[in-house]
Structure 1
Amino acid sequence: MSVLGALTRRVGHHRWFAATARLLVPADRAVGRLTRGRVVALGLAPSLVLTTTGRRSGKPRSNPLLYVRDGDAFVVTGSNWGQTHHPGWTMNLLALPDAEVAVRGRRIPVQAQVVSGEDRDRLWRLLVTEWPAYQTYVRRAGGREIRVFRLVPVGRGAPADTDDRG
């Protein structure tokens, strides 16, 4: 892990970081779109761009997210930076689980599955290992359980070497 990556993980627990990072999400989306998913989150953590279908609008909605791998699947969480409500993209996935991820410039169709029980606990530990601030986000959100999704490739799945930073 780079020094900048380690520093980012350390300051990720602070409210000012979450507030600042939320403001940078539109810029991160634009960079991800311009680089076709090759650069997301400045390469500080394994990141992808998730494109869901708006549950009300029917329009594509893209969000840069940190992820961990679980076999061929991508695992993401709707932390919403510790806010008390779930992010809109999670509600889109609940309504329409067919989505797409862009990782290293590859577009991969996926089917979203909400994870629960022991499997959720196992995947949550992986997510917290990658981004320890997720634990802080749970406290900040008043203890609300943060949704965890497994994004399973459909059709032509992602090769095992897609797991990288950005």
Structure 2
Amino acid sequence: MSLSDSRLELVQGDITKVTADAIVNAANSALVGGGGVDGAIHRAAGRELLEECRTLGRCPTGEARITQGYKLPARHVIHTVGPVWQGGGRGEAGQLARCYQSVFALVEKHGLRTVAFPSISTGVYGYPLEKASRIALREIRAALERLPSVEKVTVVLFTPWDLEVYRRALAGEPEPEGGLGR
């Protein structure tokens, strides 16, 4: 469903089913699993993922850590901790951008060619989807320009609504006043 780069794809689905060099986990700072995407990835990967995460210590907001994928179809999981939305005036946009930058630094370091992202921070962390989608796509496009070795970035959205918001952002449509609502 890419509108501007054959290496960028938007899909609705379950990120735990994606075959890629790495999938990205919207993790909590303790890296021990939780709700939403984080819990689903931990459940699908199996106990070994939690055991490896425990050896990594904490992960501050905006940073990323890499582990094996274990029972997932992805070889690796890159865990990143997004910001909790506090109204937008506390550096949330920069922190969210750093999540993507940190993930791509690990993609480059480990020579990964395919990576799948969820919508980071838009679940229980409350980041507005319209705003987060634009930051995500800006950072993904910048990484694709900088890293020709990356063959495919897939953004896996959980609901049709999430996919539509990302599709509009990818098409360059202006962010609606007050958001689109659900």
Give TM-score scaled by structure 1 length. 0.30
Q: As a proportion of its length, which structure holds more strand?
A: 1
